[in-house]
Structure formats: C-alpha cells, structure tokens
Amino acid sequence: MAGSFAENALGHYLRFRMRDQKVADALFAPLGPLSSFSQRIAIAYAFGLIPEQRYRDFELIRKIRNHFAHHPMDTTFATEEVQKAAAGLSMMETANEHKESRPGYRARTAYLLTCGISCGSLLDAMEKANAKAQANAKKDV
C-alpha cells in the first residue's frame, strides 16, 4: 500500500506542476503516457522535478511494490529480491540503526520510511509553492 501512496503522491505532484488540467487529464488517463508509476518517475526526473536520490528511491519503491504484486503468496520483506532492492533505499541506514533481528524488519522499515519521506517531500514542495503564490498575490493587491 505504501508504494501505491508514493505513486499517487507523485501523480498529484506532476498534476500540480501542470498548467492545463485538461491536458493533465489526458496524460493521466488509463492509457495515457503518465498512467504508470514508471512513466511518472521517468518524467519527473527527466524534467528536473525530483532530484536523483528521489528518482532512485521511487524506482526501488516501484520494484519492491511490483515484486509483491507479482508474487503475492511467496514474497515478504525477507525475500532475497526485496532485500536487495531495499538495500539501496535512502532510509536503509536509518533502518539499520534498529536492533530488531526479525527477518525483513529492516527492509520493511526502510521501505516505509522512504515512502513516507518521498511523499512528504512532494507535499512540502506543493505547500511551499502555494504559499509563495499566495504571498505574491497579496503583493499584487
């Protein structure tokens, strides 16, 4: 679920940055060029809307989410493929500070923290842009 929140947050951020909502609706339509998480990540990074580390995190979040989606009955955060992907997440160092030894605990913690930080950073960017626009509007009055 956390990966889906990250995908959704990135979609909202991209829509926020667009000037024409009719065009945005077409881009985000079910068969539109921004209908998938992968496409959203690539566009956001290609246009300099997210930094390289956020790009890498989103790619790893997507890979982990997809692994769970395609192997729902035999995947956990202790699964080797998930562990390998989670090792590259920006919050893995923080997760490794925990003394917990349950299989997959650190990978799960890094994944959830990275999803949360990624979503929060996009929300923060939108709030700052809105505050700036409101301040500029007050100056114009």
Q: Domain extents for the chain? A: 2-140
Residue 43 has pLDDT above 90, yes or no: yes
DSSP 75: -
Residue carrying the six token digits 């917990």: 100
Structure confidence at residue 141 (pLDDT): 65
Structure confidence at residue 101 (pLDDT): 80
Q: Please report which confidence band the pLDDT of residue 91 belongs to, taking 50, 70 and 90 as the band edges.
A: very high
**Both tokens assigned to 43:** 């566009």
Q: What φ, ψ does residue 28 adopt, rounded to 5°?
A: -95, 5
Q: Are 105 and 98 within 8 A, CB to CB?
A: yes
Q: Are 102 and 113 within 8 A, CB to CB?
A: no
* Report field, pTM of the whole predicted structure over 0.75: yes
Structure confidence at residue 41 (pLDDT): 98
How many other CB atoms are found less than 10 A from the CB of residue 50?
Answer: 24
Q: What share of the chain has pLDDT > 90, as a percent?
A: 84
Per-residue DSSP letters for 73-130? TT--TTSHHHHHHHTTSTTHHHHHTS---STTHHHHHHHHHHHHHHHHHHHHHHHHHH
Structure confidence at residue 140 (pLDDT): 74
Q: Are 91 and 110 within 8 A, CB to CB?
A: yes
Q: What is the mean pLDDT of residues 22-40?
A: 95
pLDDT 10s digits, 51-65: 999 999 999 999 999
Structure confidence at residue 1 (pLDDT): 87
Among candidates 22, 58, 16, which has minimal Cα distance to 39?
58
Q: Can you tell me the distance from the alpha carbon of 47 to that of 24, in angstroms, rounded to the nearest whole number?
A: 16
| 1.20.140.10, 1.25.40.340, 1.20.120.330, 3.40.50.300: CATH of 2-140 | 1.20.120.330
Q: What is the mean pLDDT of residues 35-54?
A: 96
